[in-house]
Amino acid sequence: MRISQKLEYACRAMVQLAQHHDGQTLIQLDDIAQREAVSANFLVQILNDLKRGDLIISKRGKTGGYLLARDPREINLLDITKAADPGMLSNHVPGEGESGRAIHDAWNQIHESLIKELSSITLDSLTTQTPMFYI
């Protein structure tokens, strides 16, 4: 399976927001970009997709930034994938020919497993797996 760079960065940005989630504190774009070694120009496009997906809230201005729209326990990898890279979830196998139906059914089973796994991994679980370093 190949995960797009856009989806990877979206997940990394969401983990950053989840690690600092208190429902009020805004995290600035440059902070997320620096912590995750991601281009701020690319990241802002990704954050806009996440905002359109109702996963984050943004505030403009000098003291602006981003925060999660919901608790990290309520956001999963499926939500992030739908917002940042919905094409990854497309599953179109026509099922033509003598063996087409069997192949179609196999890919559908794999697709359903993927959806189930993506749904089971929350941002909260990802933040507990990410080591935090203090200086």
Per-residue pLDDT tens listing for the chain (135 residues): 789 999 999 999 999 999 999 989 999 999 999 999 999 999 999 999 999 999 999 999 888 999 999 999 999 999 999 999 999 888 777 778 889 889 889 999 999 999 999 999 999 999 986 455 555
Q: Which two tokens stand for residue 116?
A: 């189930």
- Cα 127 to Cα 37, 94, 98: the distances in Å are 18, 39, 47
DSSP code per residue over 37-81: T--HHHHHHHHHHHHHTTSEEEE-STT-EEEESS-GGG-BHHHHH
Q: What is the pTM of this model?
A: 0.87
Domain-wise residue ranges, the chain: 5-88+123-129
What's the CATH class of domain 5-88+123-129? mainly alpha
List for the chain the helix, strand, coil content (%; round to 5).
60, 10, 35
Task: Provide the pLDDT for residue 16.
Answer: 96
